[in-house]
Chains A and B, each alone.
Chain A
């Protein structure tokens, strides 16, 4: 059971828009920045969004992030077949005496 909750899967047609949610609590998302990672099949995760809504150099503006309260959302517009991947949210969690990095369970995106 992951500390952050994501839907197991989402799907949409090429060219369409999809959103992936990430739900947490005040000890993690509510008081810390959220990052999003893309993991293409057979590859290492790649940073997609950081500090809730910032994109690293080279990440197209089709990818966006937002945060409200204890939830965060990843948005992808103009879907391409190459976007098929697993997406993970991550943040710092301070609920225990020693903090920790926590991830969502991951969401598999299918581009139909």
Chain B
């Protein structure tokens, strides 16, 4: 059974940093691209970032480019999101999601975690 478990969320002040983690199990992690998708309270889905199977291809939404860094450790079956210079508008539930392809261009997300809540507030 595929499982994606996010962690690392919490309350953080504007301008500070936070690192999210996603522990994956139940599939061959290094065969697939992975993504972070967020959902602000009461709002729709917003893609944040994606990383290919071997970290060779990475993409970011314009809203986070230069502030967030996605990475993965295939030996640990883990996905990460380093979030710096956080803003109030980054407040959201952050989902880790598995792609059906090794490439982020496929953009088909077949399994999602339950999310970790990030609240940016002073």
A-to-B contact residues, CB < 8 Å = 2, 32-33, 35, 37, 39, 44-47, 50-51, 56, 86, 88, 90-92, 96, 98-106
Choice from B45, B50, B113 contacting A37 with Cβ under 8 Å: B45
- A56, A96, A103, A104, most chain B CB atoms within 10 A: A103
Number of A-B contacts (CB under 8 A): 71
B residues less than 8 Å from A86 (CB atoms):
44
Choice from B45, B100, B104, B112 contacting A103 with Cβ under 8 Å: B45
Nearest CB on A from B102, distance (A) = 14
Q: Is the interface of A mostly helix, strand, loop or mixed?
A: strand
Q: Flag whether B107 is at the interface (Cβ < 8 A).
A: yes
- Inter-chain CA distance A50–B112, complex, in Å, is 15
- Inter-chain CA distance A62–B86, complex, in Å, is 42
Task: Provide 7 A-B residue pairs closer than 8 Å at the C-beta atoms, listed in order of the A residue.
Answer: A37-B45, A37-B109, A50-B108, A56-B110, A90-B108, A91-B107, A100-B47
Which residue of chain A lies nearest to B4 when distances are taken between CB atoms in the complex? A44
Choice from B35, B44, B112 contacting A105 with Cβ under 8 Å: B44
- Inter-chain CA distance A111–B111, complex, in Å, is 26
Contact of A44 with B115 in the complex, beta carbons under 8 Å: yes
Contact of A101 with B50 in the complex, beta carbons under 8 Å: yes
Given A44-B113, A45-B112, A90-B109: A103 in contact with B44 (beta carbons within 8 A)? yes
